[in-house]
């Protein structure tokens, strides 16, 4: 059974962080890193000149509060120094020096402000999506949420249920670990929900503060790339089981695929100084395997019409432009060019993680699509796991 999607609301991070700012900060902090002589070329290769964050760059790079006394405390340090024969004046000087030391922020210092921003941005996106769909919060029957970089319990689902507010009987479905597939997989789940009850109204909200993975102390090449890639975005959209005047896309089918033995290629680790996103250089090649599997799914689905069927737009978030190039190289020769233009445009201002596919869809919608245009939505995420959908513009 088909599901109907209204145009998404997209709220970009309001703090513009330029690539030049990041390069200057990293170069100053890590002048002797083995990649330091190549930093300008590495930054230029991303194709990103600026990205929006929910919080300013200064917040990400600020030292932690409490300095070198965070663990032992000033009182205990004073007692220890006094026992060792230091004079009161010497103790005061030592304590002052320790308090002035720069130390990394704790996980609480990193994620606390970001979690507040995720809730605020998520609420703005949710209200925007409901307004676009011509609905009120009281019309929502189910809420699907995702936010992968700001762990919290209760999560974004309960926060929005109170902030909007939603009815007490709304089904809340939080998915904090979907990451980059949050856009496609939430829509696939919404399709199942409205198939079971066509009168359901499903609200999807994804809010990602990926800038929390900016770790100033890390000096690996992979950490540099993470600093340069990510953007913060909140998105939301309404899915219904019956076509509405505001509906713009009909979703007809969904596909899921998981590659065994690839769970360590991309991963998020929580340490005492916050979250770290770790990447293996083998990752893009593994993601390409999911693309090949998706092509086969589409081939089989349209095997009765192999000559004339093709998508008119591909809304794809495979994690980076390298896999977009692979998609262009491996799609059938007869397919039209420019299918990934909106995907490339989205990447030009940063990788938005789970919010990316909705951002790409919004770009396609704003550019104008003809009724009957065939659309394929695809995303891959750490796991490695992928979800795709296909449907038609209304």
Is residue 258 domain-shared with residue 338, that is, in the same domain?
A: yes
Q: Same domain, yes or no, for 27 and 166?
A: yes
Q: Which domain holds residue 290?
A: 249-393
Indicate if 264 and 341 belong to the same structural domain.
yes
109 in any annotated domain: yes
- Identify whether residues 27 and 157 lie together within a single domain: yes
Residue 74 forms part of a structural domain: no
Q: Do residue 219 and residue 301 come from a single domain? A: no
Instruction: Please tell me whether the peptide bond between 231 and the residue prior to it is cis, using omega within 30 degrees of 0.
Output: no
- Which three-class secondary structure string do you get for 63-86? CCCCHHHCCCCHHHHHHHHHHCCC
Q: Is residue 90 included in any domain, yes or no?
A: no
> pLDDT at position 81, please?
55
Same domain, 40 and 171: yes
pTM surpassing 0.95?
no
Does one domain contain both 170 and 31?
Answer: yes
CATH of the domain at 266: 3.40.47.10
Q: Are 227 and 257 in a shared domain?
A: no
pLDDT digits (tens, 9 = 90+) for 100-153: 556 777 777 888 899 999 999 999 999 999 999 999 999 999 999 999 988 888
Per-residue pLDDT tens digits for 348-392: 999 999 999 999 999 999 999 999 999 999 999 998 999 999 999
Indicate if 176 and 213 belong to the same structural domain. yes
| Distances from the Cα of 159 to the Cα of 118, 186, 211, angstroms | 10, 18, 21
| SS3 label, residue 236 | strand
**Domain membership flag for residue 229:** yes
Residue 94 lies in a domain: no
One domain for residues 330 and 290: yes
What phi and psi, each to the nearest 5 degrees, are found at residue 169?
-100, 10
Query: Could you tell me the pLDDT band of residue 94, with boundaries at 50, 70 and 90?
Result: low
The total number of structural domains in the chain stands at 2
DSSP code of 211? G
Q: What is the mean pLDDT of residues 49-74?
A: 77
Quick one: DSSP state of residue 51? E
300 in a structural domain: yes
Question: Could you tell me if 226 and 276 lie in one domain?
Answer: no
Q: Is the peptide bond before 139 cis (omega within 30 degrees of 0)?
A: no
Please check the confidence at residue 316 and state whether its pLDDT lies above 90. Answer: yes
Helix-then-strand count for the chain, H and E: 13, 14
Residue that finishes a domain, picked among 240, 266, 283:
240
Tell whether 77 is covered by a domain. no
- What is the mean pLDDT of the segment spanning 78-105? 64
CB atoms within 10 A of CB 271: 11
Do 283 and 216 share a domain, yes or no? no
- Average pLDDT over every residue of 20-43: 94
pLDDT recorded at residue 207: 98
Residue 79 counted as domain residue? no
Residue ending a domain, choose from 240, 260, 293: 240
* Domain boundary, last residue among 240, 274, 289: 240
Average pLDDT, integer, range 341-353: 96
């Amino acid at each position: 059974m088909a599901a109907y999607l209204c145009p998404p609301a997209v709220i970009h991070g309001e703090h513009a962080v330029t690539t030049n700012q990041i390069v200057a900060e990293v170069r100053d902090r890590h002048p002797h890193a083995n990649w330091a002589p190549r930093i300008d070329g590495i930054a230029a290769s991303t194709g990103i000149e600026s990205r929006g964050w929910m919080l300013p760059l200064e917040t990400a790079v600020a030292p932690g509060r409490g300095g070198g006394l965070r663990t032992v405390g000033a009182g205990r340090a004073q007692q220890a120094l006094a026992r060792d024969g230091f004079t009161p004046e010497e103790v005061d000087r030592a304590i002052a020096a320790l308090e002035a030391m720069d130390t990394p922020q704790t996980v609480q210092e990193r994620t606390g402000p970001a979690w507040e921003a995720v809730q605020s941005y998520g609420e703005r996106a949710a209200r925007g999506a409901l307004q676009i769909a011509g609905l009120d919060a009281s019309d929502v029957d189910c809420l699907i949420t995702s936010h992968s970089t700001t762990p919290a319990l209760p999560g974004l689902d309960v926060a929005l249920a109170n902030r909007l507010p939603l009815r007490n009987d709304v089904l809340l479905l939080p998915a904090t670990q979907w990451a980059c597939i949050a856009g496609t997989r939430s829509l696939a789940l919404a399709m199942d929900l409205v198939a079971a009850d066509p009168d359901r109204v499903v609200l999807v909200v994804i809010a990602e503060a990926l800038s929390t993975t900016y770790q100033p102390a890390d000096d690996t090449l992979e950490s540099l790339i993470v600093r340069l890639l990510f953007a913060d975005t909140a998105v939301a959209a309404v899915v219904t089981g019956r076509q509405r005047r505001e509906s713009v896309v009909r979703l007809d089918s969904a596909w899921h695929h998981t590659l065994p033995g690839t769970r360590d290629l991309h991963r998020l680790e929580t340490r005492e100084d916050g979250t770290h996103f770790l990447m293996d250089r083998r990752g893009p090649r593994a993601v390409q395997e999911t693309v090949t599997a998706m092509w086969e799914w589409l081939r089989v689905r349209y095997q009765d019409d192999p000559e004339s069927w093709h998508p008119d737009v591909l809304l794809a978030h495979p994690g980076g432009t390298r896999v977009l190039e692979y998609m262009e190289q491996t799609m059938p020769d007869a397919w039209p060019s420019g299918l990934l233009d909106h995907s490339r445009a989205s990447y030009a201002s940063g990788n938005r993680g789970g919010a990316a596919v909705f951002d790409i869809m919004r770009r396609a919608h704003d550019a104008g699509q003809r009724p009957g245009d065939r659309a394929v939505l695809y995303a891959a995420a750490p796991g490695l796991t992928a979800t795709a959908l296909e449907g038609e513009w209304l």
